[in-house]
A = this chain, B = another copy of it.
Amino acid sequence: MHAIGVDIGGTKIAAGVVDENGKILAQTRRDTEPDDVASIDAAVADVYAELSKEFEVEAMGLAAAGFVSPDRTSVLFAPNIAWREYPLADKVRALIGDDDVKIVVENDANAAGWAEFQFGAGRDASDMLMLTVGTGLGGAIIVDRKLVRGRWGVAAEVGHMRVVPGGHYCGCGHEGCWEQYASGSALVRDGQAALIAQPDRAAALLELAGGDASKLNGPQITQAAQDGDELAIELLATLGRWIGEGAASVTALLDPELIVIGGGVGAAGDLLLQPVRKAFADQLSARGHRPEAQIDLAQQGNEAGIVGAADLARS
């Protein structure tokens, strides 16, 4: 059975028809306006119309960057889109005018994690932790082959586990959230700080940034590290250490067999993965008395949200 997956971002939506093996058969896109929620409803209905013309679909999953209600019909709150207690599924259904198609709303990180679990690095696993290391740190938790949504649909906000009391401020208003240490933003912030604090070691990074610390970005740090720059290697190792140490804390709670690292930083490969694995092993409780989770890079790409949302709508 085919299903449509729609990944709704702030300024555009990407949609696709997905088969039961997680394969995308057709794709389309629309631009949207984050402050105009009705325009998003219309765009979703529009891609549905387009894609359902050619393919027979029985379900549609909407991956939304926000808190999703436990019954998977509404978005309670979204940081970047003007949804507040918004009945997204009903709104879209009204536009579609088809009562038979099943419409399901899912958190976007959950959808992407589910795609990884079903069709990617986690396809042989039963218990998995997905960590998406991007601007922030998102994630998804799979326990006994089921996605953990929590009582109110807000589970797996892994980036807001506190790892340093009195630590860096987070946009959420708290200090020391994991995503302030284990994200691409943290990597860049650490790199920019190193340009100030360790100018003697930072020549290569500064050059890559065109001489302007504020222009330094993650791919430049990865590039420098791959070219052997010691400071850049250290920066990736620090990022990896925080990912691995935090993952060990989550593992104390959930005992997954697999931890998947997604997001752009994956491009650093072993320069990131090895510090992650070492820190995880160093920090894992009861080591030697338990099997240890494997840590791998994600295999699904940017379409993971589409694939996961479609699959979750179907199941």
Is B255 touching A287 in the complex (CB atoms < 8 A)?
A: no
Most buried by B among A127, A159, A245: A127
- Interchain residue pairs A-B with the least CB separation, the first 7: A150-B255, A173-B197, A173-B196, A160-B285, A151-B257, A155-B255, A127-B151
Q: A154-B255, A157-B286, A167-B167 are in contact. List 4 more A-B contacts (CB 8 A).
A: A148-B254, A164-B166, A165-B166, A198-B282
Q: A143-B148, A193-B169, A254-B148 are in contact. Are A287 and B198 (CB under 8 A)?
A: yes
B174:A285 contact, CB within 8 angstroms: yes
A165 interface neighbour in B126, B157, B163, Cβ under 8 Å: B163
Which one, B126, B144, B154, B252, contacts A161 given CB within 8 A? B252
Q: How far is the CB of A188 from chain B (nearest CB, A)?
A: 12
Main secondary structure of the interface of A (DSSP, over half): loop
**Contact indicator per residue, chain A 115-153, by CB within 8 Å of chain B (1) or not (0):** 000000000011100000000000001011010111111
Whether A146 lies near B144 (C-beta < 8 A) is yes
Residues of B within 8 A of A156 (CB): 253
**Chain B residues with CB below 8 A from A67, complex form:** 286, 289-290
Q: Mark A188-202, 1 if CB is under 8 A from B, else 0.
A: 010001111111100
Q: Flag if A162 contacts B245 (CB, 8 Å).
A: yes
Q: A144-B146, A256-B151, A285-B177 are in contact. Are A168 and B165 (CB under 8 A)?
A: no
A228 within 8 A of B: no
Q: Pick the contact of A249: B162, B193, B194, B195 (CB < 8 A).
A: B162
Query: What is the distance, in angstroms, from A33's C-beta to the closest C-beta of chain B?
Result: 22
Given A143-B148, A155-B255, A173-B198, answer yes or no on A165-B165 (Cβ-Cβ < 8 Å): yes
- Min CB gap A240→B, angstroms: 15
With A165-B163, A245-B162, A255-B151 in contact, do A76 and B174 touch (Cβ < 8 Å)?
Answer: no
- Most chain B CB within a 10 A radius of its CB, from A154, A194, A199, A286: A286
Instruction: State whether A197 touches B168 (Cβ < 8 A).
Output: no
| Minimum CB–CB distance for A286 against chain B, Å | 6
In the assembly, what is the distance between CA of A191 and CA of B141, in Å?
Answer: 33
* A194 to B282 Cα, complex, angstroms: 9
Q: Which of B146, B164, B286 contacts A160 (CB 8 A)?
A: B286
